[in-house]
A and B are shown apart, each in its own frame.
Chain A
């Protein structure tokens, strides 16, 4: 499955294996991801199987709904590798020309 540019940014940030909150991803992306669209991007990436999520555990009674923690999957890793290979291929063909 093909990953969009924003999904690739999300996957690159998650590649260190740490689970992250959406806002953490947006704030750590140097402006590449916005907080206003990160939530939708994450749900899409999850539908494609690139990331998986779980709800954070809160002490009961909770004063707010739980956030979700996102983690990269094997398919996500492969999508990043494919994108890197594609970029490398483009660079090689440009050098050859």
Chain B
């Protein structure tokens, strides 16, 4: 069972797009706040309309792209569930998931390790003719991806929030 290289060398475009959108949104908010509070002329309504239109267009394109990607993944996943031996394990979704949710500095190592380990477990299950286990592993794989993100949130951000909260007198 061969898997093309591109599957584990996919670059981080979705994450960059989300970050770019958030950055432009925050820049816009800062600029808007600054101009309206400093008594300078507010941003013309035409500029706001253009920005809002752009944002809407971006949201629409993102929604369509996400729906298409998810349906494709779901299709692959269902095909795999029906015929596990004949089809390729649908690992792609975890790539997408990690690209969006896992910080870049963890991404490569976490994704590579996860896919390699699951590939081994999956091949073992198939070799032992344990098809149900092979099917179950794909579900477990997705849970694992979610677990990694939760692990990051709970051990990182949440801990910082709790520490800051405790510091408030």
Contact = CB atoms under 8 A, between A and B. Distances in A.
Given A4-B155, A63-B1, A39 B119 contact: no
Nearest to B112: A65
Contact of B151 (A40, A61, A66): A40
Contacts, number: 72
Given A37-B147, A43-B105, A68 B152 contact: no
A37 B152 CA distance: 8
A57 B68 CA distance: 37
In terms of DSSP, what is the predominant structure of the interface of chain B? Answer: helix
Contact of A37 (B115, B117, B151): B151
B113 interface: yes
Interface of B: 1-3, 8, 102, 105-106, 109-110, 112-117, 119-120, 143-144, 146-148, 150-152, 155
16 contacts: A22-B113, A23-B117, A35-B117, A36-B147, A36-B151, A37-B150, A37-B155, A41-B155, A44-B155, A53-B109, A63-B2, A64-B120, A65-B8, A65-B116, A67-B116, A68-B109
